[in-house]
A = this chain, B = another copy of it.
């Protein structure tokens, strides 16, 4: 187990219990206590927690989220989804991307797509509008991609920008294509997210776009989440992975959504 995963695990433990003990964590992660100490020291240096004798405690009233520090679960599925979605982006398009691990993979796929590289007339090959800090940060150095970031407040422990400042910026743009990674997709309720602020931004993005593509790995299908993003009718294409069963995707296809399994 490498360092970032271990940090992630430690922060997860800490988010759950509010505190951590060195020996306990060492046993849990099957590493030596010295390593845990080092990790805790570094995380304390980063102000992620406060060291105590024998362990550490959460810094503030600890946030509920386990904090996906740098997670990569279902990585290969998401990469395939990313490649499939990236293929739908044509040259010169203005695409909106929301935050999440899936959309991050999509962004990478768009960035490394060779066909988009030969831009005509010096203009950007593709314009990406996003509220995801990590996506913007990753794509910023590519000469052929124009990055537009919504402003707003960074959601704690995450990389998404939210709030009135963000919606204010989105009011002023139009998109050819909105690509939304969602937390849940239900045939009746449509797409939804866990966080209402996020959902609001995503809804606005879908509203501003001529076409809407939803990316959701198979585990998201049929699930419901708290905050609604948009109805099924607003979705033109759903991209999921090959683990999705026929029965799982049938309702969406019947509702007129084009379903792609990557």
Contacts and interface: CB of A to CB of B under 8 A. Distances in A.
Contact of A149 (B47, B112, B149): B149
Contacts of A137: 133-134, 137, 159
A142 B61 contact: no
A91 to B, nearest CB: 13
B165 A60 contact: no
A119 interface: yes
B142 A46 contact: yes
B144 A158 contact: no
Contacts of A145: 47
A153 to B, nearest CB: 5
Contact of A157 (B117, B143, B168): B143
A3 B5 CA distance: 24
B45 A112 contact: yes
Interface in A135-173: 136-137, 140-154, 156-159, 161, 165-166, 168-169, 172
Given A137-B134, A148-B153, A142 B48 contact: yes
A174 interface: no
Q: Is the interface of A mostly helix, strand, loop or mixed?
A: loop
A213 to B, nearest CB: 22
A53 B153 CA distance: 47
A111 interface: yes
A37 to B, nearest CB: 18
A69 B141 CA distance: 8
Contact of A67 (B48, B122, B141): B141
A143 B45 contact: no
A211 interface: no
Given A46-B142, A140-B154, 8 more contacts: A63-B143, A67-B141, A133-B136, A133-B140, A149-B152, A151-B165, A165-B169, A168-B169
Interface of A: 45-48, 50, 59-63, 67, 69, 111-114, 116-117, 119, 122, 133-134, 136-137, 140-154, 156-159, 161, 165-166, 168-169, 172
